Amino acid sequence: MMMKVIMIMAMAMAMNIAMCDPIAPCYFIFGDSLVDSGNNNRLTSLARADYFPYGIDFQFGPTGRFSNGKTTVDVITELLGFDDYITPYSQARGDDILRGVNYASAAAGIREETGRQLGARITFAGQVANHVNTVSQVVNILGDENEAANYLSKCIYSIGLGSNDYLNNYFMPVYYSTGNQYSPDSFANDLINRYTQQLRILYNNGARKFALIGIGAIGCSPNELAQNSRDGRTCDERINSANRIFNSKLVSLVDHFNQNTPDAKFTYINAYGIFQEMVANPARYGFRVTNAGCCGVGRNNGQITCLPGQAPCLNRDEFVFWDAFHPGEAANVVIGGRSFQRESASDAHPYDIQQLAML
Which of the residues are catalytic?
33, 323, 326
Quickly count: other Cβ atoms within 10 Å of residue 304's Cβ: 15
Q: φ and ψ at 343, to 5 degrees? A: -95, -35
Cα–Cα distance, 134 to 285 (Å, whole number)? 39
Quickly count: other Cβ atoms within 10 Å of residue 255's Cβ: 14
**Integer angstrom CA distances of residue 135 from 193, 303, 352:** 24, 41, 25
Distance of CA 209 to the CA centre of its chain: 16
Cα–Cα distance, 90 to 163 (Å, whole number)? 23
Cα–Cα distance, 188 to 159 (Å, whole number)? 16
